[in-house]
Amino acid sequence: MTANQGSLTIAGCGLHPGHMTLETESLIKNAEKVLLVAPNPLSIQHIISLNNTTEHLGKYYNEEGISRPDIYKKMAMHIVDLVRNGVQVVTVFYGHPGVFVTSTRLASNVLKNEGYPVKMLPGIAADACLYADLDLDPADTGCQSYEATRFLLTRRTPDTSAALILWQLGLTGEHTNDHFKPGEQGLKALSRLLAEYYPASHKVCVYEAPTLPGFAPRIDWMTIEELATADVNTISTLYVPAGNEPTFAEDRLAWLGLTEADIEHWEEYEEFED
């Protein structure tokens, strides 16, 4: 990289200051320009203290009459313009910077095609917090993950023997891209859809990771039927546990010359007695 060549590093700061990695913190300190999107005031203050060039891109959300896609395009254009002008930019987004962050995807695609160096560093997102707070291992049953409105409005058949995570529950059915709340019938429709695959009494969890250190997460268990009238926020995530056990595929066992008896020991790891 030449001294005057712009570059882009996309980093995640997690959901609060305690989540930031040492690698990300070091990059922020040494960046020529830091662009930030974080709703957490502690994270904002911490990042500004690391680098006084920090500019908060949240200002674009304050412009009235602009849709979410247009906001993301404005952010992306600002990133691209800086890099094209030879600035080594670090963008910092809360959570994981590659999960539901449209602006960095747009900027990255443009800059990579123009030959600029672009790299991404991971961050702690809501799913990682969910696994910890609900004491879950996604490897136990497997896990499916969808954006809630896309899951609702496209033909998806969930595997009910695996867990299901639906992101952006608080925007379910909001198809206009203009609002930050569920569509008028969004949760009711989602509840209706889930009831086609699970019993109406199947328990699901509305989860919200804490955005301040030391605070408790929101963990609200309710039935699928009750989900229709649940109180949700833009940061809410829905966790749907598996509803039944998977069955072995005898033909695939045969590919390996196995029977179910050959893998009975899998169950031995599920229980432990001291």
Closest by CA to 34, choosing from 79, 77, 86, 4, is: 79
The CA distance from 154 to 157, in Å, is: 10
**Residue among 60, 94, 198, 239 flagged as catalytic:** 94
Query: What Å distances lie between residue 123 and 23, 31, 223, CA to CA?
Result: 11, 18, 31
Output the six-digit token pair for 28: 């922020």
Bridge-based pairing of strands 218-223 and 143-147 is unpaired
146 annotated active-site: no
Q: Which residue, chain included where needed, has tokens 């990289």?
A: 1
94 annotated active-site: yes
Asked if residues 61 and 80 have their Cβ atoms less than 8 Å apart, the reply is: no
**Residue among 60, 61, 68, 198 flagged as catalytic:** 68
**Residue among 60, 72, 116, 198 flagged as catalytic:** 72
Handedness of CA 136, 138, 142, 146 (dihedral sign): positive
68 annotated active-site: yes
The residues carrying an active-site annotation are 68, 72, 94
